[in-house]
Structure 1
Amino acid sequence: MSNSVSNTPINDARLSMWQAAWVIARRDFLAILFSRAFFFFLLGPLFPILVGGLAGGIGGQVQREATVNTIALAMSQEDNNAMMAARLAVQERLPGLPIMREAEDTSKAPADILAEPGAAYAGVVSGTLDAPILTGTPGQIAAWEGAVAMMAAFAKGEAPTDFPDVAAEPVAGSAATDRSERIKTAQAGQLLLFLLMMLLAGMVLSNLVEEKANKIIEILAAAIPMDSVFLGKLIAMLGVSFVGIAVWGFFGGLIIFFGGEALPQLPEPAMGWPVFLLLGVVYFAFGYLLLGSLFLTIGGMATTVREVQTLSMPVTMMQLLVFFLAAFAMTDPGSLLELVAVVFPLSSPFAMLARAAQSPEVWPHLVAIVWQAFCVLLFVKAGATLFRRRVMKSGPAARRKGKEKRLGGIFGAASGKAGAPQSS
């Protein structure tokens, strides 16, 4: 019986790589999701959005209040009525005309009318229809001089007030126009992808530092492969990131729902919005996993939070350069620079998302997704191997050193016994 037990492989009782990764992912995901720190982390980006929205609304209201487009009329009663009637007749055709109101006291000088307390006039028109005089600041005179002259011409009947109907023949747009417009969508997609990755990938950094300090990582490494530990932690952090994006997206949807008309409208991408958004989620996932694997390796190498911040700075700067590379490469599709941005793992998600906005081809995205998945596994394997050899002191080199140390101890003990004098 003892022989049968001793011949049973110990690894048969261990989980497979993916099963172990799932156990780690579920453990970390639930631990982070139901922590108070994650709740405050979710609230963090909402405060700048709320403050920015309030500031934008207040600033827009202030700008509207500050924009003065009302002109006071201080001519004769007949000329004033003719000017206001002319503006009323053409306001539908010329919506950019200033508002014209008769001054309360036309006997005052134009400068005194402008200086009246509570007056909000861009200028004052005096004189006659044949020789109108516009009083105001140089900027207001330059802005409204042409409109006043045109209204005076309409009021005298020297300009037409009956406009012919214009037949419209709209076109969908030229290829150059479509490409120029879709670049805006590509830029917005890249910027959003970059901000989300940099905001959420930072959670990976301190993960291993805490578990190393608590000796938890040693227990995990003894129970399951280190590759599964790294992969499981990345999957857990990705799941937590999707929860954060869902919460922020909900509030962003409310902002779009209530103030969508005031927000800038992005042109539709070449692949359509549903496919573009789906690819955006996929490329965020792979970009996060690629960057997170580097951050996880850095967190495993560091022993303190200060070391984490020091070691992560080069990676952060490199990611910023990668973003600039992908942003510059999308201006020249099909070039060697864009090919480099597509192939390089860290810039590939940004470059391919920009291509989804500009080109309707599907097969390049399938190839890019397979390539990015392979790079994720490669980065995880390299990071786990480095962590195992440099931190856990295991692996072929460490085992060889341990074996040599044990053999040295054995031979040393044997030589000590051989050289010891025998007692009589």
Structure 2
Amino acid sequence: MSEVLRAALVIARRDFSAVIFSKTFILFLLGPLFPVVIGMAFGGLGEKITRESLRPTVGMSMTAPDAARMERAHRILAARIGAENLPNLQRAPTGDPRALLARRDARFMAIVSGSVERPILTGKASDLAMLERDISLLASAAVAGDQLPHVQVEKQLVSASAGAEAQSRLLTGRAAQVLVFLLTMLLAGMVLSNLVEEKTNKVIEILAAAVPIDSVFLGKLLAMLGMSFVGIGFWGSAIVAGVKLLAGPDIAPPTPAVGWPIFLLLGAVYFTMAYALLGSLFLGIGAQAATVREVQTLNMPVTMAQMGVFFFATYAVDHMGSAPEVAAIIFPFSSPFAMIARAAQDAAIWPHLLAIGWQAIWVAVIIRLGVWLFRRHVLKSGRSSRRRLFRRRSAMVK
């Protein structure tokens, strides 16, 4: 066993150095940050557009005093509940509302006419269903005028709220699940291409002749895992720096049930387990594939199945202690996602020790299965072909 581990570390150091010191690794590190920056920029722009431009505009075909009362009511309500929760109001010419809506230059979704006491809203049925309550609220505030009451809410602070804490821990567990899943799917696929490339170049045969196949598989898995942690460290540092820069240093995320130090440690362990489980499966697939096209063909069903497993684990978050959560914990590929969510909601540590041991057993089983398939279908076929070739040459000499 020590010989296998020693050889695996040699293979891991070789692959890790080859990836880390390559010219394209910096592009690999910077690549995921570009979508994040672009997403934040477009998210802020989209929020601004939604807040300012995409709110429905209602034309007021009313007398000037009634229109002024509606505008004043709009300002009062906007100060209390936010302008983004109300439609825009714009004065429109008096006349038939249907004719105003039919004009090509009209920019109104609906027209409110009549008086403040008896408003008439004209528009399509779907638009009226959306705007009816807002116009009724504005008209009611306009009728009340200066008599619109404003009740001051007295605030009473508490140090803790069990319901709010449970909700925040649930959100923390969901966020951790999504993060572990995205990182696993982003990084585990590199194991496939690495192994297929070395099979094509016949490097894998040289390694197989020098060290046990178990060491080759384990070493490649350790190398890609180490490279993944380098990437995670870089991306995590960049995200933390960006959040502190944009949100300020006083931001305080909700505390998970096990506490942040243990939660981060468990997050790293469960990412390792999820990566090892999926990576060892990908190693077995890559060992059987001869070309990149075959890898892509085999990779798709595995990826879709993993997405289904992830959705099953997210469903189990809301049902702690139920049969779905127990099944998600027992099934090895969903176990890391289910357990990281449990760490955010339950302070018990012993279930994590059992789960990590259970997942490690399955990693070993999947690696052994991949090694067995590699020996049976790749190395054995290679030896038999060499024997046939040798016999053919012997026959030619005779």
What interval of TM-score do these two structures reach, taking the shorter chain for normalisation?
Answer: 0.7 to 0.9
Contact 2:55–2:88 (CA under 8 A) maintained in structure 1: no
1:116-152 CA-partner distances (Å, limit 9, x unpaired): 989889867875x7x4656765747524433333333
1:204 CA drift (Å): 0.5
Deviations 1:307-353 (A, max 9, x none): 32334344334323322332333332223332232122222111111
Q: Does the 8 Å contact 1:286/1:349 carry over to 2?
A: yes
* Cα contact 1:110–1:135 (8 A) shared by 2: no
1:329 aligns to what? 316
Which letter maps to 1:289?
A: A
Q: Letter of the aligned partner of 1:212 in structure 2?
A: K
**1:125 to 1:279, Cα distance in 2 relative to 1, 3 A:** farther
Deviations 1:44-76 (A, max 9, x none): 434443443343233223212222579879656
Equivalents in 1 of 2:89, 2:337: separation in Å?
Answer: 55
The Cα shift of 1:230 comes to: 1.6
Partners of 2:60 and 2:67 within 8 A in 1: no
Change (3 A) 1:146 1:255: farther
Aligned twin of 1:291: 278
Question: How is 1:7-406 mapped onto 2 (pairs within 5 angstroms)?
Answer: 16-64=3-51, 65-67=53-55, 75=63, 93=80, 95=82, 127=115, 131=117, 133=119, 137=123, 139=127, 142-155=132-145, 159-161=147-149, 163-169=150-156, 172-175=160-163, 178-179=165-166, 182-253=169-240, 256-257=243-244, 268-393=255-380
Relative distance call for 1:312 and 1:76 in structure 2 (3 A) is: closer
| Distance in structure 1 (CA, Å) of the matches to 2:109 and 2:303 | 53
Question: CA RMSD for the aligned pairs?
Answer: 4.2
Alpha-carbon contact 2:257-2:346 (below 8 Å) kept: yes
Gaps of 5+ in 2: 388-398
Instruction: Please state how far the C-alpha of 1:196 moved relative to its aligned partner.
Output: 1.7
> Are the equivalent residues in 1 in contact too, given 2:258–2:343 (CA < 8 A)?
yes
Could you tell me which amino acid in structure 2 is paired with residue 18 of structure 1? L
Using the aligned pairs only, state the percent identity: 46
Change (3 A) 1:187 1:73: same
Aligned length: 371
Distance 1:89 1:340 in 2: 54
Q: Which has the larger radius of gyration?
A: 1
For 1:67 and 1:292, locate their aligned partners in 2 and report how far apart those are by CA, in whole Å. Answer: 47
Cα pair distance change 1:63/1:232, threshold 3 Å: same
- Is 2:70–2:139's contact at 8 Å kept on the other side of the alignment? no
Partner AA of 1:334 in structure 2: G
2:109, 2:123 within 8 Å by CA — same for their partners in 1? no
What are the superposed Cα offsets for residues 82-104 of structure 1, whole Å, 9 maximum, x if unpaired? Answer: 7777777787555568699996x
The TM-score with structure 2 as length reference comes to 0.74
2: CA distance between counterparts of 1:266 and 1:206? Answer: 38
Task: Call closer, same or farther: CA 1:182–1:85 in 2, change over 3 Å.
Answer: same
Q: Distance in 2 between matches of 1:116 and 1:257?
A: 49
User: In structure 2, what is the Cα distance between the partners aligned to 1:217 and 1:117?
Assistant: 70
8 Å contact 1:326–1:351 — kept in the other structure? yes
1:222–1:363 Cα change, 3 Å: same
DSSP 3-state at the match of 1:66: coil
Between the aligned partners of 2:166 and 2:192, the Cα distance in structure 1 is 39
Residue identity matched to 2:136: G
Q: CA deviation at 1:200?
A: 1.0
* Matches of 2:76 and 2:301, distance apart in 1: 66
Residue 391 of structure 1: SS of its match in structure 2? helix
Letter in 2 for 1:148: L
Question: Shift of the alpha carbon at 1:299?
Answer: 1.5
Give the unaligned 5+ runs of structure 1.
Answer: 1-13, 403-424
Cα separation, partners in 2 of 1:55 and 1:99, compared to 1, 3 Å: closer
Contact 2:258 2:347 in 1 (8 A): yes
